[in-house]
A and B are shown apart, each in its own frame.
Chain A
Amino acid sequence: QVQLQESGPGLVKPSETLSLTCTVSGHSISTIYYWAWIRQPPGKGLEWIGSIFHRGRTYYNPSLKSRVTVSVDTSRNQFSLKLDSVSAADTAVYFCAREEVGAHFDSWGQGTLVTVSS
């Protein structure tokens, strides 16, 4: 059974870069699935950030595209998120998830809270 686990700093300063990694276990990242990042500000709804295929193809939410990079490391069975120039509005729980292509997110990590504050 696939398991996903987010890791990274819980506190980031304004204008800096948020960096998170998702480690996938129980399932090779090099399969037919895409791998995604989704976030949820405290007390608010869900927002898809972007997705990546193991061969490197990416696609992003247009509202975040200018600041987002998602990458994959197949040798470590991990994928990562970088979000540039963060502000308080980027404070959220960040989830990584497995994406059934063109469809939905069928397995999720537990999520990690990232707070943007000086």
Chain B
Amino acid sequence: SYELTQPPSVSVSPGQTARITCSGDALPHHYSYWYQQKPGQAPVVVIYKDTERPSGIPERFSGSSSGTTVTLTISGVQAEDEADYYCQSADNSGTYVFGTGTRVTVL
């Protein structure tokens, strides 16, 4: 089955930049989305359609796409950004797929 692969963890100091990658063969053909999930809470969309940021999401969150890899960048990381992050897209049959997830730790 189709998989979206993310690094299990990313550690970053406050004020630094965190980059989380998501790789999948079908990504050039389907939009990607990024969710932030804090413990005990439902996921929240932070990036949609590869690069768009929903209203209310801080400008430090941005998305980019290149071939079979999409990237979520958090510039100037703050302590409140510590969370799990999941990418999401679709395979070529239209099945929604989530990435394996990345835990961001703010040192």
Q: Which residues of A contact B (CB under 8 A)?
A: 45-48, 59, 61-63, 95, 97, 102-106, 108-111
Contacts and interface: CB of A to CB of B under 8 A. Distances in A.
B20 to A, nearest CB: 14
Contacts of A46: 35, 43, 86, 88, 98, 101
Given A63-B1, A110-B42, A111-B42, A45 B48 contact: no
Contact of A103 (B42, B48, B99, B100): B48
A48 B99 CA distance: 11
A23 to B, nearest CB: 15
A67 to B, nearest CB: 16
Contacts of B93: 62
B101 A45 contact: yes
B33 A104 contact: yes
A75 B99 CA distance: 35
Given A45-B86, A62-B95, A108 B43 contact: yes
Interface in B48-89: 48-49, 54, 86, 88
Contacts of A102: 90, 94
Interface in B5-44: 31, 33, 35, 41-44
Contacts of A105: 43, 45, 88
Given A104-B48, A109-B42, 20 more contacts: A45-B98, A45-B100, A46-B98, A48-B95, A48-B96, A48-B98, A59-B94, A61-B95, A95-B42, A95-B43, A102-B90, A103-B49, A104-B33, A105-B43, A105-B88, A106-B48, A108-B43, A108-B44, A110-B41, A110-B42
13 contacts: A45-B86, A45-B99, A45-B100, A47-B98, A48-B97, A62-B1, A95-B43, A103-B33, A104-B88, A105-B45, A106-B48, A108-B42, A110-B41
Contacts of B94: 59, 102
